[in-house]
Structure 1
């Protein structure tokens, strides 16, 4: 039986381990943290990722958590709609919903499908030999026919394989993520764009709301890909959010006020500065943020990691074919997401006015044009 060692117990690493195990591989997951309990943030599982999750038996459980209904779109800080569509129109076009759920929920669904004994928390990886598949860890050496490096945006494996690659850069914005109970009164999911600032609101199953925000403030030195406890100065995150968004439309101030201070996460947004030349070397495959860390503007970071996982398992370790299948698609999405991030950072009043006018025109032209922008991303299907 072929053996795979997966480095990293995040969404991508766990998806790869489950997918490979279903294809008959023996798998070992090395996770340096003492447990795989993640920070309390949310993520979007778009139609493309739902189809990928179907191949590893998780799709229907995620679908059951769908809570997006009715209108959604982009607004101004005073609440005026620039463009909008609806969850129902998106479902009709793409055949699947977009599901917003807690990262912890998806981690649990994946971890429960790992073979017994596959997960090794508290295991540091010190080095990988891409030629013979030897993985040096704090618990001793492992031998692998395939090494899956899902070790995040600051991947040590990526640096060793591609030392000339420039690596991750700051995207120019800091992010906040927060959870609160759903407020009373009319409620719609939306993303509001101001002068360099963004605030997003998405309903979750169970009567809760996941919100996120970005703004071009000085970096704090903590990355959203790190499993830390919040980033920034504890006790000041809520005050900072209220300073930036406290006069924005309802229910944004109420959601900020309702979020417990200790649950608000603050991190710098970073992404890879340029695509890698390949996603493999020798017996090693890079996956997820280690391969193509992107800004969150398209909501595709976790989705692309899940796609990576099921494609890698389908190809049974044919790594040149894996690079051929994944490099171009992820590079395109990475570039498009960063372009949107740059547009959200505009603060010049004339530029913001022109941006808003263009979005309003798109909105007036209807759902079809708004949703068409996601066609090539959301209609992806896993290999048969």
Structure 2
């Protein structure tokens, strides 16, 4: 009998946990997740889960939990800052265009769901991995500040985020993450606006605001604007209310009602590596393809990565190198394209100036809604492979 192989996942965010869950479905493999944070907590804000991500979750073994969610049919609206509707599609049209519904989750709830797919002893916290290298007998070691933490890894998955030390080590010539020119605020409001359940995106000049209902009955909102990096205010709520003063209801009320407001400058990788694989080290999620959030696909593509990697390992569990080659061939073209689309949307909404805003407000109501949403439909209509052992 062949000895059990060992996969080491560095990072216990959405990408890392999802990848670990996927590999747990592969016979003959055990998984260890190493997380730098000292403990898990209810951190983060909301996340939009497009149909491609919901299918990925189902493929990872969470179909029963997803089927237990309450009915969640939401439409989609684009508006001007005064509230004028630029275009709208109802929930049925969203389902037809995108092959399913968009769900809003609190990140902490999604994290808990993924964590439930792993045994307690599979995850170690308080371990900051700073390097990984091949050793004897095709085994890799992972290290923390020069101390070897694990020395028998058959596969190392770098899920350690946009500033991944493992990516920097093994792809030293790849440009580091850069500031995109936009900053973002996020929050959770305890109420749902008095209107039909919809995802609403409002576009101004150099700024936007969006909100969507969460599965728990609250509202997740986000705002972004073109600014210099590193600017912080003593009272972020007051500054944000001033920035979005005059924008249509319920935007000010959502900001005012939020318990906490997160503010992060938006960084992205300027390019995806020529390969997401280096030996037995593979990049997933933001470690490999951190993109701007303007397409809503950062977390979604991380879940896709997890399913594809597990599926390829399962199809040839004794030929890891070939599985990684196939993973790279599948994932790199898709995430490269989506990163470019996301940056294009950010640039169009934040850098087009007043003339661009007026042109958008004039032309969008004249276009068929399906045409405006076509790009998102193409993105959302991704279907995962099945994780089946050879």
Could you state the TM-score of these two structures normalised by the residue count of structure 2? 0.89
Change (3 A) 1:281 1:381: same
Shift of 1:201: 1.2
> SS of 2:219's equivalent?
strand
Identify the residue that residue 376 of structure 1 maps to in structure 2.
Answer: 378
Could you state the TM-score of these two structures normalised by the residue count of structure 1? 0.91
Change (3 A) 1:377 1:59: farther
Change (3 A) 1:70 1:279: closer
Output aligned runs, 1:162-173, within 5 Å: 162-173=171-182
Shift of 1:47: 0.8
Identify the residue that residue 337 of structure 2 maps to in structure 1.
Answer: 332
Identify the residue that residue 243 of structure 2 maps to in structure 1.
Answer: 244
CA distance in 1, matches of 2:121, 2:289: 29
Q: Is the 8 A contact 1:8 1:151 kept in 2?
A: yes
Identify the residue that residue 356 of structure 2 maps to in structure 1.
Answer: 351
CA distance in 1, matches of 2:303, 2:349: 26
CA distance in 2, matches of 1:67, 1:75: 25
Q: Is the 8 A contact 1:67 1:203 kept in 2?
A: no
> SS of 1:249's equivalent?
coil
Identify the residue that residue 194 of structure 1 maps to in structure 2.
Answer: 204
Gaps of 5+ in 1: 222-231
Q: How many residues align?
A: 368
CA distance in 1, matches of 2:264, 2:71: 26
Q: Is the 8 A contact 1:202 1:209 kept in 2?
A: yes
CA distance in 2, matches of 1:63, 1:217: 41
Identify the residue that residue 303 of structure 2 maps to in structure 1.
Answer: 306
Shift of 1:372: 2.3
Q: 2:14 aligns with which of 11, 19, 22?
A: 11
> SS of 1:100's equivalent?
strand
TM-align CA RMSD: 1.9
Shift of 1:102: 0.4
Q: 2:51 aligns with which of 47, 53, 72?
A: 47
Q: Is the 8 A contact 1:68 1:202 kept in 2?
A: no
Shift of 1:348: 2.3
Shift of 1:183: 4.9
Q: Is the 8 A contact 1:67 1:100 kept in 2?
A: no
Q: 1:135 aligns with which of 139, 142, 154?
A: 142
CA distance in 2, matches of 1:198, 1:267: 15
Q: Is the 8 A contact 2:291 2:342 kept in 1?
A: yes
CA distance in 1, matches of 2:352, 2:377: 29
Deviates more, 1:167-176 or 1:69-78: 69-78
**Deviation digits for residues 65-103 of structure 1 (CA, Å, limit 9, x no counterpart):** 467545422101100011211222111333321111100
Shift of 1:37: 2.3
Identify the residue that residue 96 of structure 2 maps to in structure 1.
Answer: 92
Q: Is the 8 A contact 2:58 2:66 kept in 1?
A: no
CA distance in 2, matches of 1:173, 1:281: 32
**Deviation digits for residues 347-382 of structure 1 (CA, Å, limit 9, x no counterpart):** 5222221233332232xx24x323322232111111
